[in-house]
């Protein structure tokens, strides 16, 4: 809520705005909170019964400038550039609006900027993230039947997990096969290449722009980190590319292991039994690749979770 022009900025006014910034940038709750340490802090409410009156009871330029630092940290994370707000000089009076028309140093201008940053708190600029390979599993020997790559991402605690996804973190899953010498292997290569990359996000998942074929959430409603269950949910499925190998399947499942850990299970199912008589094996090297899009900006950075493997592709049939 804006402040009327000409009125004093109270501790309550400031603390309300500071709390809105803290909910985005600090620990927050639920689907808010980047897990960062704040620069600004609440101002004590004015109590006229104290004598002498503590200096921190008043909203001063120093308070506004610390608040601006944290606002700009969020702005850079979301948009790649700082806000248009201006700082105040020490001793400046904190006004409801800037002294001049183009001044962006009034309290109401600060409110407007925080409202803009609240509009899509999960937004992150491409300059503020890094794509990192956290793990992979490979199969070098011929196979048919089923291969499984199962792994767990474990965060230090539930707040770390929330912060990773709230700040725009994602889990990227893709696969490839190279060096095949038969038609079934070629079909697997086409099917894995064409499916692109699956991006697992805070509340949903998406596909890379180069993807084709396959289905996200084939069993029903979309889900992401915050809507995982204790049972495996099917995140993605892909069928064989050619009609001859249409029985073949690639699946991605996900579930919550605990409030700080999530598990993914990826299955390569070679269900083709031969057309008409020979059930050839798939040769070449098949690789399941796990990457993270991790928040790594100068102002908002969240550590990667640990990666552990429960089943590797080498253990398959």
Write out the DSSP string of 82-142.
--S-----TT----SS-SSTT---SHHHHHHHHHHHHS-TT---GGGEEEEEEEEEEE-S-
* 260 and 147 belong to one structural domain: yes
- Check if the beta carbon of residue 56 is closer than 8 Å to that of residue 41: no
Residue 252 lies in a domain: yes
Whether residue 1 is contained in a domain is answered as: no
Asked if residue 105 and residue 179 are part of one domain, the reply reads no
Percentage of the chain surpassing pLDDT 90?
A: 72
Are residues 202 and 102 part of one domain?
Answer: no
Average pLDDT over residues 112-125: 96
Residue 263 pLDDT > 90? yes
Question: Average pLDDT for residues 142-163, to the nearest whole number?
Answer: 96
Domain assignment present for 26 = yes
> Two tokens at 281?
């094996």
CA-nearest of 242, 138, 144, 125 to 194 is 242
In this structure, what are the phi and psi dihedrals at residue 222, rounded to the nearest 5 degrees? -65, 150
What is the residue range of 24's domain? 11-118
Q: Is residue 3 part of a domain?
A: no
Give the pLDDT mean for 226-231: 96
The total number of structural domains that make up the chain:
2
Using a 10 angstrom Cβ sphere, with 0-12 exposed, 13-18 middle and 19 or more buried, the burial of residue 191 is buried
Arithmetic mean of pLDDT, 248-256: 96
End residue of a domain, out of 83, 118, 153: 118
Question: Quick one: 29 and 72 in the same domain?
Answer: yes
Q: Specify whether 232 is located in the same domain as 271.
A: yes
Residue 193's pLDDT band, with cuts at 50, 70 and 90, is very high
164 and 108 co-located in one domain? no
Largest CA distance in the chain: 95
User: Among residues 89, 118, 147, which one ends one of the domains?
Assistant: 118
Domain shared by 290 and 169, yes or no: yes
pLDDT of residue 45: 66
Q: Is the pLDDT of residue 258 over 70?
A: yes
The pLDDT tens digits of the residues spanning 264-305 come to 999 999 987 666 667 788 999 999 999 999 999 999 999 999
Query: What is the pTM for the complete model shown?
Result: 0.91
**Quick one: 108 and 130 in the same domain?**
no
Residues 228 and 255 in one domain: yes
289 inside domain: yes
**Residue 146 domain-assigned?**
yes
CA-based R_g, the chain, Å: 26
Residues 153, 258, single domain; the answer is yes
Task: Specify if 263 maps to a domain.
Answer: yes
- The pLDDT mean for the chain works out to 91
Q: Does one domain contain both 88 and 210?
A: no
Residue 214 falls inside a structural domain: yes
Q: Are 151 and 107 in a shared domain?
A: no
Last residue of a domain, one of 90, 118, 146: 118
């Amino acid at each position: 809520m804006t402040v009327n022009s000409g009125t004093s900025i109270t501790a309550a006014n400031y603390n309300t705005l500071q709390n809105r910034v803290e909910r985005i940038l600090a620990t927050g709750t639920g689907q808010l909170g980047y897990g960062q340490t704040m620069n600004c802090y609440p101002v004590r409410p004015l109590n006229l019964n104290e004598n002498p009156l503590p200096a921190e009871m008043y909203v001063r330029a120093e308070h506004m400038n610390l608040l601006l630092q944290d606002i700009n940290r969020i702005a850079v994370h979301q948009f790649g550039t700082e806000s248009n707000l201006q700082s105040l000089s020490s001793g400046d009076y904190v006004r409801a609006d800037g002294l001049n028309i183009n001044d962006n140093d009034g309290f109401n201008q600060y409110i407007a900027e925080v409202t803009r940053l609240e509009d899509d708190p999960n937004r992150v600029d491409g300059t503020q993230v890094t794509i990192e390979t956290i793990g992979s599993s490979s199969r070098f020997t011929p196979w048919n039947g089923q291969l499984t790559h199962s792994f767990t991402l474990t965060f230090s605690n539930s707040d770390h997990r929330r912060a990773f996804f709230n700040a725009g973190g994602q889990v990227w899953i893709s696969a490839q096969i190279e060096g095949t010498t038969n038609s079934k292997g070629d079909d697997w290569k086409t099917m894995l290449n064409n499916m692109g990359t699956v991006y697992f996000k805070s509340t949903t998942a998406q596909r890379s722009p180069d993807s084709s074929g396959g289905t996200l959430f084939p069993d029903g409603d979309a889900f992401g980190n915050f809507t995982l269950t204790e049972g495996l949910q099917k995140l993605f499925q892909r069928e064989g590319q050619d009609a001859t190998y249409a029985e073949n399947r690639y699946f991605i499942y996900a579930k919550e292991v605990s409030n700080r850990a999530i598990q993914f299970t990826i299955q390569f199912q070679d269900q083709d039994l031969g057309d008409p008589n020979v059930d050839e094996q798939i040769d070449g090297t098949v690789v399941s690749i796990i990457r993270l899009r991790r928040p790594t900006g100068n102002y908002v950075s969240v550590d990667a979770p640990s990666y552990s493997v429960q089943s590797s592709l080498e253990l398959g049939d």
